[in-house]
Amino acid sequence: MKTFNLFTVILSLSFFVSSFNRIEKTNSLYKKTPAATKVYNNTDSDVDKISNDFFKRYSDLKKYKSDVMSLYKTRTLGSIWFDEDEVNEFGSVLYEKAKKTNDLVIPYQKEIDQLFDSSSENNLSRTDADMLLSSLYVLYTKKSNADKKRLSYDAMLKDFLNYSTIEEATAKVEDDGNLYDQYYKLQAALKQYKKLEKSSKWKPIVTEMPYKDLRPDAVSSTIAQVRTRLYLLGDLKQDSKSDFYDRELMDGVMKYKVRNGFKPNYILQEEHIKEMNIPVSDKVKTLMLNMERIRAISPQLVNNDEFVMVNVPSYELIYVKNGKIVLTSSVFVGSPLTKTSIFNGEIDRIVFSPYWTVPQSIVQNELRSKIASDPNYLAEKNMEVINGQVRQKPGPENSLGLVKFMFPNKEDIYMHDTPSKTLFDFEKRTFSHGCINVKMAKELAVAMLADYPEWTQAKIDKAMAGKVENSFKLSKKVPIYITYFTSLVNENGEIGFFQDVYEKDAELNQEKLPVAAN
């Protein structure tokens, strides 16, 4: 199963992929806001009253009053940094870049942080919030342009806002390219789902009982409800209300299943209907949780032009080289009882025709009884006992397959091939004891060794077909990131929701979003 080139998505963290799909143009930043939230578009006396009141309450910013108010004087608009009920993308970028500026002291940082912390109760008025961000802009610009030609803050703001994408604007300001694109894409999806939550259009799909899988050409009242749901989610361009499973619905179902990581076919099983029936409020929470996860992504990724990334909930791996995705593969991971750990590491060795030293826990819990009941069990499984340990010899039936990838870690987790290729046909792929089983393991090895001329295709094939383990130490270690994202936006701007296989969303929800449902 292939979701939607998953990590084109994570790479939209935009360290290496320079697209920012569906970013609104500058004009979208000038939407009217409610009169009570406007800073300008008032009489001069109103403006003076607003500004005097603000800088009296935020006295540490009073020395920046002239610069801050100049940002509004040439605009007959309300908020600069807000779009409807949310901080816009430019406001979010300003916040991220200001936090990363060395030695920048931010007055009232607690209040500003609350604007970007979904778990905080924010009691700021829109006017105060907007002017605090304008003050932050002045402070940030003073610091970042200290050694450059003096420009008015208003002129620089025009430059900042007149670029057609966030990426262009921030490149103009600092040119560090360190943007968490995926964060803003999730933020845009969050706005859409919040609007859907407030509407009365989302209704549970009521199925006919007993449930029967829905297939093309079927007729059912459930089909008409599915059609409406896919229309609301954007997988269908129109809602014909038809209860006939036609070609149009087939295309919508396929789009829905691919972006959400389901097996790409036209069959609608009961589990798919259950997923469609997850309340919008839960989807909103999921988006917010994954925005928090993006914030915690390792900054090391910024400096790597080669790495492997595995996302557990979507069961996918990507390999990036020279800043480009060169391979995408399905994986299966640890069961809920033997979870795959979420961490970063470095691949330092590739092992061909590996032995598999069976962990003692597996020997005790699984093999001991089989060996006792069948004296030939070890021989039949190509296993042997060496120094008191059970190990499986190299070969096509070895549980590690033909190749494994080592990255030292305390959990003793690694990636490897597998002879059990049929397991990749399942939608929920939690079959291992913790290690990551890679469907395209051989192709991954070939791609990783492309810069090692001694490792020709013929040599790799021979090493994989051997009866003796062959370990090769990489001269340049390859970073690996094992992540846990249950929602991501793909390169087409389509949101995907994946199975919370280890129930980590519930854990994070309790930690980060105690009032997320409000």
Task: Enumerate the active-site residues.
Answer: 416, 435
Q: Give the up-direction half-sphere exposure of residue 283: CA atoms within 13 A in the CB hemisphere.
A: 25
* Burial class of residue 146, CB neighbours in 10 A (0-12, 13-18, 19+): exposed
Q: Which residue has the tokens 């059609």?
A: 227
Give the span between the Cα atoms of 50 and 40, in whole angstroms.
9
Which of 3, 122, 112 lies closest to 58 in space, CA to CA? 112
Decide: 61 and 108 in contact? Cβ < 8 Å.
yes
Question: For residue 341, what are the contacts with CB-CB under 8 A and spacing of at least 6?
Answer: 409, 411, 413, 434, 482
Q: Report the 10 Å Cβ neighbour count for 272.
A: 20
CA distances from 374 to 363, 364, 365, 380, 384 (A): 14, 16, 16, 10, 14
Encoded amino acid at 381, one letter: K
Handedness of CA 54, 55, 60, 66 (dihedral sign): positive
Let me know how many helices (H) and strands (E) the chain has, helices first: 19, 16
Sequence letter at residue 401: G
Locate 470 and state its tokens.
């062959």
Q: Which CA distances in Å does 323 have to 5, 22, 61?
A: 15, 22, 42
Q: Give the residue from 14, 21, 31, 32 showing the smallest Cα distance to 164.
A: 21
Asked if residue 275 lies in contact with residue 260, where contact means CB atoms within 8 angstroms, the answer is yes
Torsion over CA of 63, 74, 164 and 136, rounded to 10 degrees? 10
Start-end of H helices in 260-403: 270-276, 280-295, 360-362, 368-373, 377-380
Q: Is 241 left (phi over 0), alpha (psi -120 to 50) or beta?
A: left
Residues linked to residue 479 through DSSP beta bridges, in sequence order: 346
Residue 391, burial from CB neighbour count under 10 angstroms (0-12, 13-18, 19+): middle
Structure tokens at 98: 């200001």
Phi, psi of 207 (to 5 degrees): -95, 155
